[in-house]
Amino acid sequence: MKKLGFLPRAVAVALVVLGLSSCAPPSSADAEKHKKESLKFLVENEKKPGVLSTASGLQYMILDEGTGISPKATDTVTVKYRGSLISGQEFDSGENVSFPLNGVIRGWTEGLQLMKEGAKYRFFIPPKLAYGKSGVGRVIPPNSALIFDVELVKVNSTD
């Protein structure tokens, strides 16, 4: 079973049980199509007012600044989130979900460290910082850029 980096294990197991995640390899034509769509979206998105970018290619918008502490990659965080494809199709959401920050997709690990408790950001995550050319079964196609609205509720610091 493919580990879903942004979902708790119980949700990932449920996706497999419901048949929404499969082990079938993605077609190379689909992978190439999504790669081109993702690149086009990210190039255009970066030009929009309020969109910031990191050296890795992560794009984000600050919807609401927080006032608390910022997490380190080794911290456990609690978040509220909504994830969608660039088409707008929502594939997941959660409220008060806790996880170790270094146990999720790279785009989340990097992006959440930019935030402070109470902040709300929108992440535009390139495929290389998400699930890359493998995707996640029928839930997230190969080479898909992802959009997440995330609120950092709490940082459970390891210090």
- φ, ψ of residue 15 to 5 degrees: the values are -60, -40
Q: Which residue has the higher pLDDT, 18 or 147?
A: 147
Nearest to 81 by CA among 153, 9, 157, 143: 153
Which pLDDT band, with edges at 50, 70 and 90, does 26 fall under?
Answer: low
Which pLDDT band, with edges at 50, 70 and 90, does 157 fall under?
Answer: confident
Catalytic residue among 105, 125, 140, 147: 105
Decide if 84 is inside a domain: yes
Active site residue 91: yes
Active site residue 147: no
Decide if 113 is inside a domain: yes
Decide if 141 is inside a domain: yes
Q: Which residue has the higher pLDDT, 18 or 38?
A: 38
Active site residue 140: no
Catalytic residue among 60, 81, 121, 123: 81
Q: Please give the pLDDT value at position 137.
A: 84
Decide if 4 is inside a domain: no
Q: Please give the pLDDT value at position 158.
A: 67
Q: Please give the pLDDT value at position 36.
A: 95
Residue range of the domain that includes 129: 9-156
Catalytic residue among 6, 41, 60, 91: 91
Name the average pLDDT for the chain. 86
Q: What is the pLDDT of residues 97-141, one digit of tens each?
A: 999 999 999 999 999 999 999 999 999 999 999 999 889 888 999
**Residue 5: pLDDT over 50:** no
* Mean pLDDT, residues 28-52 taken together: 94
Catalytic residue among 60, 92, 121, 140: 92
- Which CATH number fits the domain that encloses residue 113? 3.10.50.40
Decide if 101 is inside a domain: yes
Active site residue 69: no
Decide if 3 is inside a domain: no
How many structural domains is the chain composed of? 1
Are 104 and 6 a contacting pair, CB within 8 Å? yes
Cα–Cα distance, 95 to 43 (Å, whole number): 31
Decide if 2 is inside a domain: no
Q: Which residue has the higher pLDDT, 13 or 78?
A: 78
In whole angstroms, what separates CA 17 from the centre of its chain? Answer: 22
Entry pTM: 0.83
Decide if 103 is inside a domain: yes
DSSP the chain: ----TTS-HHHHHHHHHTT-S--PPPPHHHHHHHHHHHHHHHHHHTTSTT-EE-TTS-EEEEEE---SPPPPTTSEEEEEEEEEETTS-EEEEEEEEEEEGGGS-HHHHHHHTT--TT-EEEEEE-GGGTTGGG-BTTTB-TT--EEEEEEEEEEE---
**Residue 17: pLDDT over 60:** no
